[in-house]
């Protein structure tokens, strides 16, 4: 005989599944971002998508994982009091949907790695780790819920699964921070990214000025009030000191700022691709920098700014 559900049963079961899905998506996002950073893929071109920040997945995990554990604990208490509710329609439907999705993920995971192997494509460390992460997460969910559906979960086994999930989540967060840096380090990188953004802005405003005037400005103030494409930011958001612009010749100049961290090739590539569409002239220039005060030497090519013959 099918157990009749009430609103409480529905929302606890539904809430637990939603928290599970949100937590799994955040966990995979966190791990994939860390893997992409630790084992970057070498491409011939640029990638315009993706983020190196783990702030959102970590925040989501810290929120949804405890909610999931709490709701599952409520369900376990309810099942001890009313064992027949474990066979309720809403519980079985949500469990079957979860089993289907996790089983499909495992199958697609295996198909993907077999395809790469048979097709002769390179199985990079990053790719293998992503496949392994998907397999472990999806297969663990499948095993847990199939055991729950068959009534094989005991009080001890539920504790084991909680501890296992906790280790995975906490370990992933710790690894993510070890690869991408602590929240403070992330903040310092964001400051540096904003500084590069501002300097690129100044750089292209100078290019626009040269195009119109045929000469470099003597100071940044000369172009600050001009109506060019993007508002000019002259102040370092961290130190609140003006960026340095020094005209060194009729066609060369320096742009200087104080940086918190040294950029590597990957970071400088991200800077270029992030602002490619905003800055169409000098986006291909290198913006790689060490930690501390650093000046970028820029050169204007007068031949690129010749006015067309009338």
Q: Is 153 left (phi over 0), alpha (psi -120 to 50) or beta?
A: beta
Q: What is the DSSP letter of 20?
A: H
Report pLDDT for 229.
Answer: 53
* Rounded Cα gap, residues 195 and 129, in angstroms: 34
Reported as a single tens digit per residue, the pLDDT across 12-33 is 889 999 999 999 999 999 999 8
Written as one string, the DSSP assignment of 161-206 is: HHHHHHHHHHHHHHHHHHHH--HHHHHHHHHHHHHHHHHHHHHHHH
> With bands split at pLDDT 50, 70 and 90, how would you rate the model's confidence at 294?
very high
Sign of the CA dihedral with 11 first, then 17, 21, and 23 last: positive
Report pLDDT for 56.
Answer: 87
- Mean pLDDT, residues 183-202 taken together: 88
Q: Is 291 left (phi over 0), alpha (psi -120 to 50) or beta?
A: beta
Q: What integer best gives the mean pLDDT of the chain?
A: 81
Reported as a single tens digit per residue, the pLDDT across 171-191 is 999 999 888 878 888 888 889
More confident residue, 149 or 23: 23
Alpha helices by DSSP H, listed for 119-154, are 125-149
Which region among 5-19, 127-141, 153-167 has the lowest average model confidence (pLDDT)?
5-19
Q: Is 151 left (phi over 0), alpha (psi -120 to 50) or beta?
A: left
* Rounded Cα gap, residues 28 and 7, in angstroms: 31
> With bands split at pLDDT 50, 70 and 90, how would you rate the model's confidence at 138?
very high
- Copy the structure tokens of residue 125: 């460390």
- Mean pLDDT, residues 65-82 taken together: 89
Query: Within 10 A of 50 (CB to CB), how many other CB atoms are there?
Result: 10
Reported as a single tens digit per residue, the pLDDT across 48-72 is 333 467 888 999 999 999 999 999 9
Q: How do the residues of the chain divide into helix, strand and coil, expressed in percent and rounded to 5?
A: 65, 5, 30
* Rounded Cα gap, residues 96 and 104, in angstroms: 12
* Rounded Cα gap, residues 52 and 79, in angstroms: 42
CB 79 within 8 A of CB 86: yes
Report pLDDT for 50.
Answer: 39
Beta-bridge mates of residue 235: 242
For the cut 80, the answer to whether the pLDDT of residue 300 exceeds it is yes
- Mean pLDDT, residues 220-239 taken together: 73
Quick one: how far is CA 64 from the chain centroid? 18
The set of residues, in sequence order, having a beta carbon less than 8 Å from that of 82 and lying 6+ positions away, is: 3
For the cut 70, the answer to whether the pLDDT of residue 124 exceeds it is yes
Which region among 97-111, 227-241, 283-297 has the lowest average model confidence (pLDDT)?
227-241
Written as one string, the DSSP assignment of 48-84 is: -------HHHHHHHHHHHHHHHHHHHHHHHHHHH-GG
Report pLDDT for 149.
Answer: 85
Q: Is 249 in a helix, a strand, or coil?
A: coil
For the cut 70, the answer to whether the pLDDT of residue 230 exceeds it is no
Report pLDDT for 3.
Answer: 54
Q: Is 277 in a helix, a strand, or coil?
A: coil
Reported as a single tens digit per residue, the pLDDT across 157-166 is 989 999 999 9
Reported as a single tens digit per residue, the pLDDT across 233-290 is 788 989 888 899 999 999 999 999 999 988 864 444 443 334 333 333 444 457 899 9
Which region among 124-128, 226-230, 245-249 has the lowest average model confidence (pLDDT)?
226-230
CB 95 within 8 A of CB 14: no
For the cut 80, the answer to whether the pLDDT of residue 121 exceeds it is no
């Amino acid at each position: 005989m099918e157990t009749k559900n009430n609103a409480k049963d529905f929302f606890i079961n539904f809430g637990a599944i939603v928290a599970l899905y949100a937590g799994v998506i955040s966990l995979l996002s966190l791990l994939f971002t860390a893997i992409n950073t630790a084992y970057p893929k070498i491409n011939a071109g640029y990638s315009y998508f993706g983020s190196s920040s783990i702030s959102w997945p970590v925040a989501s995990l810290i929120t949804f994982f405890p909610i999931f554990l709490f709701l599952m604990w409520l369900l376990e208490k309810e099942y001890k009091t009313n064992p027949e509710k474990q066979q309720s329609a809403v519980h079985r439907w949500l469990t079957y949907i979860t089993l289907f999705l996790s089983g499909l993920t495992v199958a697609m995971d295996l198909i993907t790695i077999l395809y790469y192997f048979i097709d002769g494509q390179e199985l990079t460390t990053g790719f293998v780790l992503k496949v392994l992460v998907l397999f472990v997460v999806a297969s663990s969910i499948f095993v847990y819920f199939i055991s729950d559906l068959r009534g094989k979960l005991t009080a001890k086994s539920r504790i084991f699964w909680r501890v296992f999930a906790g280790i995975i989540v906490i370990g992933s967060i710790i690894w993510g921070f070890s690869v991408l840096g602590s929240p403070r380090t992330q903040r310092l990188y964001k400051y540096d990214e904003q500084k590069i953004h501002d300097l690129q802005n100044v750089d292209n405003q100078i290019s626009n000025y040269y195009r119109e005037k045929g000469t470099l400005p003597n100071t940044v103030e000369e172009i600050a009030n001009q109506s060019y494409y993007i508002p000019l930011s002259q102040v370092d958001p961290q130190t609140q000191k003006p960026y340095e612009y020094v005209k060194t010749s009729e066609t060369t100049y320096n742009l200087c700022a104080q940086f918190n961290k040294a950029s590597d090739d990957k970071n400088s590539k991200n800077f270029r691709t992030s602002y490619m569409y905003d800055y169409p002239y000098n986006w291909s220039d290198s913006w790689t920098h060490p930690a501390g005060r650093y000046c970028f030497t820029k050169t204007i090519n007068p031949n690129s700014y010749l006015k067309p013959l009338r």
